A and B are shown apart, each in its own frame.
Chain A
Amino acid sequence: MSDRLKGKVALVTGGASGIGRATCLLFAREGAKVVVADRNQPGGTETVRLIHQKAGEAHFVQVDTSNATQVEGMVRQTVERFGRLDVLLTAAAILIITPPLAESSERDWDMTMDIDLKGVFLSMKYAIPEMLRGGGGSIINISSVSGIRGNVGSVAYGVAKAGIIHLTTIAAEQYTAKGIRVNCVAPGPVDTPQMRGSTGSTEEFRRVEASVPMKRAARPEELANAILFLASDESSYVSGVTFSVDGGQRAAAK
């Protein structure tokens, strides 16, 4: 299948690696013009290079998604470059490992909330007016299984990811009738540098994989496939959902 996003313009935060990069590449392959946004300039420009290599259209914007001015500029550059905005994927996130709550620092809490939750709020805040001007759009936010059941290894991360689910629901209530579908994907373990790094050791990463009913972490491309469905018109009657892509992890939770 191809051209599922033909004529559409997609903005992807966190496009320098992992789920964000895999989705940028898939979106471009399906005909979208892609703006790759990230703090990580080498990673972001590499994503753009990979898209250009396959004759796709892409542009990199360096952005700290917790900074309103920069996020506003990211959306403005998208429209200046490609003329419109149809799809927003908010994949930018950090997972900082923290000690138990009482020993956890305010700094770790603030950094996580700024990037993982405020960044999603700001990205939607500035993208929605452009989507409305273009007659509608699709927003896909990346939450996590941790947003559904918590994450004992990081106090703020699970809370931020739960907040994303609620932001998604609220935005869907407010904008679905105006032509913008807003959905959320909740991945389980995904084989990304972030996931391997946050488990702290190869042994622990293997243990996490073994805890999933499918006995492995997802490939980023498997998340990208689910995101593509929500971005494309194939999901034209879907808004306000949290789509778990977790190898059966949630179903198996006690």
Chain B
Amino acid sequence: MEILDKAIADFGFRQMVLWSADDVAARWGLSPQEAAVLRGRLRDELEKLPVPVEPADRQREHARFVGLIAQGMKK
């Protein structure tokens, strides 16, 4: 959730997730399944976010991404 919050609110960190997902996964000690979600669907959706995500939109985006993560972890 920390990664998700930062990636939505902070474009610099989002760049790290988009282009160095393996590095982020290693630094946060993600499980292989979590890392796969980060590199896959989550990354694709983060790339589509506007720059910046305005403060008023962050909660809605957060909820949407939480749903995507839950779907990804079920697989």
Contact = CB atoms under 8 A, between A and B. Distances in A.
A94 B17 CA distance: 12
A94 B54 CA distance: 20
B20 A64 contact: yes
Given A40-B18, A197-B11, A107 B27 contact: yes
A84 to B, nearest CB: 29
Interface size class on chain B is: 10 to 19
Contacts, number: 57
Contacts of B52: 196-197, 199-202, 205
Interface string B15-33: 1101110010001100000
Interface in A63-112: 64, 94-97, 107-108, 110-111
Contacts of A201: 52, 54-55
A197 B10 contact: yes
B55 A193 contact: no
Contacts of A249: none
B12 A96 contact: yes
B38 interface: no
Main secondary structure of the interface of A (DSSP, over half): helix
B10 A40 contact: no
Contacts of A236: none
A198 B11 contact: yes
A77 B61 CA distance: 41
Contacts of B28: 107
A194 interface: yes
Interface of B: 6, 9-16, 18-20, 23, 27-28, 51-52, 54-55
20 contacts: A39-B19, A64-B20, A64-B23, A94-B12, A94-B16, A97-B10, A97-B12, A97-B13, A111-B16, A111-B23, A154-B12, A193-B11, A194-B11, A194-B15, A196-B11, A199-B52, A200-B10, A200-B55, A201-B54, A202-B52
